[in-house]
Amino acid sequence: TRRKSAPTGTCRPDTASRPPRIVASTPRAAKEVLKTHDLSCADRPDMLLGRIMLKNSRDIVLAPYGDYWRQMRKISTSELLSANKVRSFRNIREEESWQLVESVRSSVGSPVNFSTQVTGMANAVICRAAIGKKCAYQDELIEVVEDIAYWGSGFFVADLFP
């Protein structure tokens, strides 16, 4: 990136992307861009996956920046992520952590896929906190979430054209 932007300074337009973007080649340039164009940078891209899977991108992750997103953030912060709410799930986190430790301990001498174990623990904590019990189809749920994350991390050709 530095080589490409050197002739024009520390920023250059990325004309291949839609919507057009500016590439900042140094941390200082990025800081300046964010300082002067923070609202432009706050918006999320309109992605096909969000329109299809997430009710027209009406969730907190992909919703466009604006009144709706600010309201979602306020509700999430006050209702889901408040100190008291997080504290109320402490027992769940502790129980699931102990189950993870016991599972690893019982596998002494055998290889352990720790990534799978931690993902299962996180899923159990989230399900117990959200619906009061573990998910009966935990493996299937994790597979669906991983698929969504995989497809959401890339882009579709349709995302490049308005």
- Residue 104 near residue 111 (C-beta atoms within 8 A): no
Structure token digits, residue 90: 């402490």
**How confident is residue 6, by pLDDT bands cut at 50, 70 and 90?**
very low
Q: 3-state SS of 113-127?
A: CHHHHHHHHHHHHHH
- Residue 104 near residue 83 (C-beta atoms within 8 A): no
109-147 residue pLDDT tens:
999 999 999 999 999 999 999 888 988 888 898 898 888
What predicted TM-score, i.e. pTM, was given to this entire model? 0.60
pLDDT reported for residue 18:
58
41-60 residue pLDDT tens:
777 677 777 777 777 777 77
* Cα atoms in the Cβ-side hemisphere of radius 13 Å centred on 73: 10
